[in-house]
Copies of this chain bind each other. A is one copy, B any other.
Amino acid sequence: MRSDLNDLTIGAGPRKTRSTRRGDRLKIAEAFSLRDLPLFASVDEETLSALALEAKVETCESGTTIFRQGDPIASIVAVIKGYVKLLRIAPGGDETLIAIRANGETIVDPVMGPEETCGVSAETIGPATIIKVPAARFARLARESAGLGAAVALDATRRIAALVSEIEALKSQNADLRLAHFILSLCPPGEEQCRFRLPYDKRLIAALLGVKQETLSRAFAKLREHGVRTETRDIVVDSVARLVVQCEHLGRATPLPERTGRLTRDDAA
């Protein structure tokens, strides 16, 4: 929650190339530009400068609550570094994970609109760096600058598309298939064989996919037969193409396509 403003430079223009990293063991001064956030990619320079004046960067330790469901919307927040989970808390008290934000993603879930409150709570997973712009200031600029308004609308469109996909997945895919798609979404594009580290622990992945961790563990075990190995926190995918094909079989039962022929040897089971 501490605000280390002095360590960062917020700009509006293209990222400055002056990189003052000199291996000193104090925090490395780093230039950060609002332009780096996808949300602001197409916003005019002037508006961005105005926003930059109001922006505050904060470094948060693990488990910091950024805002709470039901709070009035104080700031527009984006994640610069680390991960932030968004969750909903039912009256009964149990929490439901809605999404995890990373990279340069914005948490404008509650975007604007007068007197709106936060629909979710936001909490950091691991240490994270975030940037905040006061909501009132943001809303005013959005009303004045059509470009910013359009950018917000576009951002919202993307977010809606993602949510729609998630609803489709929850309604029509079983746990194994959802996991397979999740793995595929993590594979670096263009590589047929790959190895990477899971971005967060399996409990969170389970919550993201809407299953219990035991179920996730079993789903991983099932994928092991299809060329997806797990080494504690690392994932090795033998063949992305093969996994894509297997997705169709994971979905509907069809346990045995039964192509009897001597072709592929691993469906003999």
The reply to whether B167 and A112 contact each other, CB–CB distance below 8 Å, is no
A104 within 8 Å of B (CB atoms): no
Q: Which of A57-65, A150-158, A190-198 touches B?
A: A150-158
Q: If the complex has contacts A149-B153, A153-B142, are A164 and B98 also in contact, measured as CB distance less than 8 A?
A: yes
**Contact between chains at B94 and A157 (CB < 8 Å):** no
CA of A146 to CA of B163 in the docked complex: distance in angstroms?
Answer: 26
Chain A residues numbered 73-112 whose CB sits less than 8 Å from any CB in chain B: 88, 90, 92, 94, 96-98, 109-112
Query: Which 8 pairs show the lowest CB-CB distances between chains A and B?
Result: A149-B149, A156-B156, A163-B163, A171-B210, A170-B170, A96-B172, A113-B154, A146-B146
The answer to whether A167 touches B164, judged by C-beta atoms less than 8 angstroms apart, is no
Is B149 a contact of A156 with CB atoms below 8 Å? no
Question: Given contacts A90-B172, A172-B96, are A143 and B147 in contact (CB under 8 A)?
Answer: yes
Task: Indicate if A116 sits at the interface (CB-CB under 8 A).
Answer: yes
Q: Given the complex, which residues of B lie within 8 Å of A158, measured CB to CB?
A: 113
Rounded to whole angstroms, the CA-CA distance of A172 and B119 in the bound complex is 16
- Determine whether the beta carbon of B156 is less than 8 Å from that of A157: yes
Give A169's nearest chain B residue, CB to CB.
B96
Q: CB within 8 Å of B: which of A151-204?
A: 152-154, 156-161, 163-164, 166-168, 170-172
CB distance from A197 to the nearest CB of B (A): 25
Interchain CA distance A153-B144 in the complex, whole Å: 14
- Is A248 part of the contact surface with B, judged by Cβ < 8 Å? yes
Bound complex: CA of A231 vs CA of B179, how far in Å?
41
B150 near A88 with CB under 8 A, answer no
User: Quick check: B112 and A161 within 8 Å, CB to CB?
Assistant: no
Give 22 A-B contacts (CB < 8 Å), ordered by A residue.
A88-B164, A92-B251, A96-B167, A96-B172, A97-B171, A98-B168, A111-B154, A111-B156, A111-B157, A111-B160, A113-B153, A113-B158, A119-B160, A119-B164, A120-B164, A143-B147, A152-B153, A153-B156, A156-B160, A159-B160, A167-B170, A170-B210
